[in-house]
Amino acid sequence: MAETFDLAVLGGGCAGLSLAMDLAAHGARCPRTLVVESRAEYTNDRTWCYWTDSATAPPYPIVHRWQTMRVAHAGHSVSLDCASTPYQMLAAQDFYAAARASIDRRPEITLQRGTTVVAEPFRSNGLWLIPTSHGTVAARSVVDTRPPQGSRRGAATLWQSFSGQEIECSAAIFDPLSMDLMNFLAPDPRHVAFVYVLPVTPTRALIEVTVFGAAPLTPRELVDRLAAAVAERVGDAAFTTLRREHGVLPMGLSENLKPALERFVRAGVMAGGARPSTGFAFQRIQRWARECAQSLVSNGRPIGHKPDPLPLRVMDRILLEVLRADPKRGGALFFSLFNRAEPSRVIRFLSGDAGVVDSLAVIAAMPVSPFVRAALALTLRQSRISESKGIA
């Protein structure tokens, strides 16, 4: 074994590279770090969007900002002003380039691409040993951002699956000032489905179909719905496809994915990095990366994602239970939320920054009866679990 690192980061995607960038910002104080990434090359494989009111420029270019967003359901639509917290888009290729540039400036940090972790890390003589396709790596601490596969993936209340197509049209058909956050498809007893449209110029947009359902869906399973959504938007205009993207995110992960291990934490979208009821993850990951880097620099210990405050966790569980139990209602529920609640509160709820007052305002904006039913169902299920475990 050549070298012992202070820290091994397994996976150099959004979470792994964000942590590396935040460590690099500490200069010579940052721990000796190895980021192990299976990809040999980074491509423009996704866009990240999020709301922000921060005046500080991020270390990567912002592709576009929207100050108005629309939500539509059953022939009704509502336009919401988000000028004070614009919704902004960044391209993955710009994020990866910025991360690699900041890693390259720090001799303490190495990004090893084209290297796959091939077996689970194990403890030996106070170190973590990580078997990789290029030999065993030794490190005092590990941050594991690899998305768990198969049975290690754990259970989620729902899965969010989405497929998108970025197109360039022959005609000016889009309004780049406004984006469609959720344009709900016809109610379906199996899942909640909506179209998301992000126009960046009058001729160019990312069009995405998203489904909240009991099981993850493949791109093939979403292909017809995506084609229909694109056809509906472009009409007779000719278009070329610039890029495609697909993703699956857990909504309401079970807690058993976080075993407490000495100097070993899991992070990223499958380990608490995604907002349970919406899937927004980018900003949560940025916040976690700053805190984890600070902890590593101060005391050498990595930290995982912090749980949301209790009111938000309760809200999420109830909302997910409503969507799971009666997906047909999904469109009406979200529409009611956007139509009745203050946009800034809804944005904080969607992003995970909601306080108690925001959570109460969100509850007040939704129809009462399905929420009461879901809360009762959850309480009943919880008491059955407690009974079966013999808890009084």
Residues that bind ligand FAD (CB under 6 A): 10-16, 36-39, 46, 48-50, 116-117, 145-147, 245, 247, 249, 268-269, 273, 280-282, 285
Nearer to ligand FAD, 275 or 329 (CB): 275
Nearer to ligand FAD, 15 or 142 (CB): 15
At 32, phi and psi to the nearest 5? -70, 115
Q: How far is the CB of 33 from ligand FAD (least distance, A)?
A: 15
In the numeric block, which tokens belong to residue 113? 């691409």
Element (H, E) at 207: strand 204-213
Distance CA 130, CA 114 (A): 15
Chain residue at closest Cβ approach to ligand FAD: 13
Q: Are 67 and 83 in contact (CB under 8 A)?
A: yes
Element (H, E) at 319: helix 310-325
In the numeric block, which tokens belong to residue 82? 């988000």
Give the contacts of 220 (CB within 8 A, at least 6 positions apart). Answer: none
Nearer to ligand FAD, 157 or 160 (CB): 160
Nearer to ligand FAD, 245 or 326 (CB): 245
Nearer to ligand FAD, 115 or 157 (CB): 115
Q: Which of 102, 16, 106, 31 is nearest to 301 (CA)?
A: 31
End-to-end CA gap in the chain:
52
Q: How far is the CB of 223 from ligand FAD (least distance, A)?
A: 15
According to DSSP, residue 268 is labeled S
At 206, phi and psi to the nearest 5? -100, 125
Q: Which of 159, 365, 177, 162 is nearest to 252 (CA)?
A: 159
Distance CA 34, CA 263 (A): 15
Q: How far is the CB of 217 from ligand FAD (least distance, A)?
A: 13
Distance CA 212, CA 380 (A): 24
Nearer to ligand FAD, 147 or 311 (CB): 147
Distance CA 49, CA 28 (A): 32
Q: How far is the CB of 3 from ligand FAD (least distance, A)?
A: 18
Nearer to ligand FAD, 164 or 331 (CB): 164
Distance CA 182, CA 76 (A): 12
Q: How far is the CB of 83 from ligand FAD (least distance, A)?
A: 20
Nearer to ligand FAD, 274 or 363 (CB): 274
Q: How far is the CB of 243 from ligand FAD (least distance, A)?
A: 10
Q: How far is the CB of 292 from ligand FAD (least distance, A)?
A: 12
Nearer to ligand FAD, 268 or 327 (CB): 268
Q: How far is the CB of 45 from ligand FAD (least distance, A)?
A: 7
Tally of CB atoms within 10 A around 136:
15
Q: Are 193 and 209 in contact (CB under 8 A)?
A: yes
Tell me the residue type at 226. L
Q: How far is the CB of 285 from ligand FAD (least distance, A)?
A: 6
